[in-house]
Structure 1
Amino acid sequence: MSGRGEHYFSARPRAASRTSTVRLELTDLDIQLQTDSGIFSHGRLDPGTKILLERAPLPRVRGDILDLGCGYGPIALALASRRKRARVWAVDVNERAVVLTRQNAEALGRGNVFSRMPDEVPGDVRFAAIYSNPPIRIGKKALHELLLSWLARLLPGGSAVLVVHKHLGSDSLARWLDGQGFPTTRLLSERGYRLLEVRPADEGPAT
């Protein structure tokens, strides 16, 4: 949150720009990323995001990858580094986040990252995998609509991996996704965060 009445999911943050650098250090990656005020997890790597990047499985099938709610781009850029031949879509409603992710990708030479607003992603693009630290604070109704719209674009055999803290409703979200026809499995629980794998509708849980 970056000001009274303003959130990181505001389309055009009013907060004055205050850039800083975050080090993204993983077992297979060590890069510097620029962050800015008015976007999610400004000035630091969110602990849930780090758990997702350290523990989430890589895509099971080939195809495009989506970072839903990209912020300044740590998930998209890590995935683009690990899957250099895959197109990685970094999507956010926050214009400042989209621009910053694009700039970080350019600085790192990650030409396979496509940073876009949601309505700029072609409607015929489907995804082998979706990764997200979803914007829980937009409210349950908006969150559900967001997830349903993108999960419907998973390829057969694909999956989504979400990281959600237990105090922010991870378990109830998993039950709701199951009830909507998207088989959902808890992959792990670490430091209060749940890592959830969501399969396409009409597919069973991964075995």
Structure 2
Amino acid sequence: MNDRMATPWGELTLARFPEDPRDRLRAWDASDAYLLRHLAASGTSLSGSVVVVGDRWGALVTALASHRPVQITDSYLAREATRANLRRNGVDEDAVRLLTTRDTPPDRIDVLLVHVPKSLALLEDQLHRLAPALHEGTVVVGTGMVKEIHTSTLRLFERIIGPTRTSLAEQKARLVLSTPAPGLVRTANPWPYRYELPDGVGVVSGRTVVNHAGVFCADRLDIGTRFFLQHLPRTRDAERVVDLGCGNGVVGTAVALANPRAHVLFVDESYQAVASAEATYRENTRGPGQPESSPAPSGSAEFLVGDGLTDVPNGSVDVVLTNPPFHSHQATTDATAWRMFTGARRALRPGGELWVIGNRHLGYHLKLRRLFGNSELVASDAKFVVLKAVRK
């Protein structure tokens, strides 16, 4: 939905991406508005290098576009929303420099604005990456809803940036005000993190997973994926398989190891996730003695950051495997799952299969029957179901 946001620099019309007239979720929240009011009221100079991290739908950089900010985001959807919101408000897209969390950050930052992410690990990684560009006069302001800012959040700012305090809450939002400390001794950035998979999960048992910060279940195998790995389809020969919403790529890597002739496409809207998936795949499929940068000899793979299967040709895929998220930031929604299912139906060839794992209570079998005309229960336990739908 389109929504209007009042800022000290004028009123903006904003929307999420992809835009859906049925979606009642706003493209900004009270913490965005609070941060912008604070900048105006405090007289913060925005004439230098302004960097905005974690701007969920581009509201902050759209408001500050006249100051030519840099946006750093882990989300492809946030990046596309930013482009759309700039156009929607008559702003030249070149007014904002768009970077991802995988890009090299600016050399110098005079104003750092951080919309606190849901993932504490992602915040830790990004603060470590940005800290060398800060100087004694850098203004650092974080923002988030009260329920998103915890003692652990403040400790990260303290440990990586310098002395930190919080503002009073306004409309259930709060600011984090941090002062860069010259000579602060920081521990090394712990990301990416590596761990070994447990036994009993098929061909990837005992294999190494590489997780960049912010990716789901960064330090262990989650129970849903564990169950899925025990019930994956047996792909044949040179089938084209998609690990949709790939996360750290464990599922797609399992397919590649079980069927060396399969072509596996790893897709996620998170730049951190796709980087993790590629690292996990390379770690487990390169030949003995080959360096990590060497091409994998067994099978072939592609790694795509994007909006689901939007960029995948119709009817070009044999199998899609997915564990859809049912949250968008703090909101519970089935919109993402529905888009994944409809995208899979379009991308699958006739006779192609969509395999889904999800919590039992989500009722995915009803959505699959509505969309595909069929849904088969492959496996279940007390919490999860594995479902299969066939493109007729």
Report the TM range for the smaller structure's normalisation.
0.7 to 0.9
Q: Partners of 1:57 and 1:41 in 2: how far apart?
A: 23
Distance, in Å, in 2 between the alignment partners of 1:189 and 1:127 is: 26
- Mapped to 2, the partners of 1:125 and 1:106 lie a distance apart of 28
The AA in structure 2 aligned to 1:158 is G
Q: Is the 8 A contact 1:36 1:43 kept in 2?
A: no
Residue equivalent to 2:388: 197
1:15 aligns with 2:209: no
2:391 aligned with 1:176: no
Return the alpha-carbon distance in structure 2 between the equivalents of residues 165 and 131 of structure 1.
15
Structure 2 length as normaliser, TM-score? 0.45
C-alpha displacement of 1:182: 3.9
**Residue in 1 aligned with 2:349?**
155
SS at match of 2:247: coil
Contact 1:60 1:128 in 2 (8 A): no
1:140: Cα distance to partner? 1.5
Q: Specify the alignment match of 1:68 in structure 2.
A: 244
- State the 1:124 CA deviation: 5.3
1:136 is aligned to 2:326: yes
Q: C-alpha offsets along residues 99-146 of structure 1, whole Å, 9 cap, x if unaligned?
A: 121122222224512111136954357211111111122322232122
CA–CA distance in structure 2, aligned partners of residues 122 and 178 of structure 1: 23
Q: What secondary structure does 2:218 align onto? A: coil
Is 1:42 the counterpart of 2:215? The answer is: no
For 2:277 and 2:372, the matched residues in 1 are separated by: 32
Structure 1, residues 55-84: CA drift from partner, whole Å, max 9, x if none?
122236852000000111100111111111
Partner of 1:28: 203
Rounded to whole Å, the distance in 2 between the matches of 1:175 and 1:60 is: 28
Instruction: Name the CA distance, whole Å, in 2 between partners of 1:16 and 1:113.
Output: 30
Partner deviation per Cα, 1:31-57 (whole Å, 9 max, x = no partner): 111113211221111111111111122
Structure 1 segments unaligned to the other structure (5+ residues): none
Q: Name the SS for the 2:219 alignment partner.
A: coil
**CA distance 1:182–1:68, change in 2 (3 Å):** farther
Equivalent residues of 1:187, 1:197 under 8 A apart: yes
Larger radius of gyration: 2
Q: Please state whether the residue corresponding to 1:81 is helix, strand or coil.
A: helix
The answer to whether the Cα contact below 8 Å between 1:61 and 1:128 also exists between their aligned partners in 2 is: no
Match for 2:386: what amino acid? L
Distance 2:312 2:337 in 1: 21
Identity of aligned residues (%): 20
Listed as ranges, the gaps of 5+ residues in structure 2 are 1-53, 57-73, 77-99, 102-121, 126-190, 287-295
- How far apart, in 1, do the equivalents of 2:315 and 2:280 lie? 23
Between stretches 189-198 and 108-117, larger displacement belongs to 108-117
Asked if structure 2 preserves the Cα contact closer than 8 Å seen for 1:66 and 1:129, the reply is yes
Give the partner amino acid of 2:256. Answer: A
Cα deviation, 1:128-178, whole Å, max 9, x if unaligned, reads 1111111122322232122201222112222111110123x0x2x211221
| TM-score, with length taken from structure 1 | 0.81
Distance of 1:195 and 1:22 partners within structure 2: 25
Alignment match of 2:340 (pick from 143, 146, 165)? 146
Match in the other structure for 2:10: none
Partner residue of 2:255? 79
RMSD over aligned Cα atoms: 2.6
Indicate if the aligned counterparts of 1:68 and 1:90 stay in contact, CA closer than 8 A. Answer: yes
Match for 2:216: what amino acid?
F
- Cα pair 2:324 2:340 within 8 Å, conserved: no
Q: What secondary structure, in the 3-state scheme, does the structure 2 residue paired with 1:16 have?
A: helix
Instruction: Go from structure 1 to structure 2 and tell me whether the alpha carbon gap of 1:76 and 1:154 turns closer, same or farther (over 3 Å shift).
Output: same
Alignment check: 8 A CA contact 1:39 1:97 kept: yes
Find the aligned partners of 1:181 and 1:104 in 2 and give their Cα distance.
32
Per the alignment, do residues 58 and 5 of structure 1 end up closer, same or farther by CA in structure 2, a change over 3 Å counting?
Answer: farther
Distance 1:40 1:63 in 2: 27
Does the 8 A contact of 1:62 with 1:128 survive in 2? no
Distance in 2 (alpha carbons) for counterparts of 1:160 and 1:166: 17
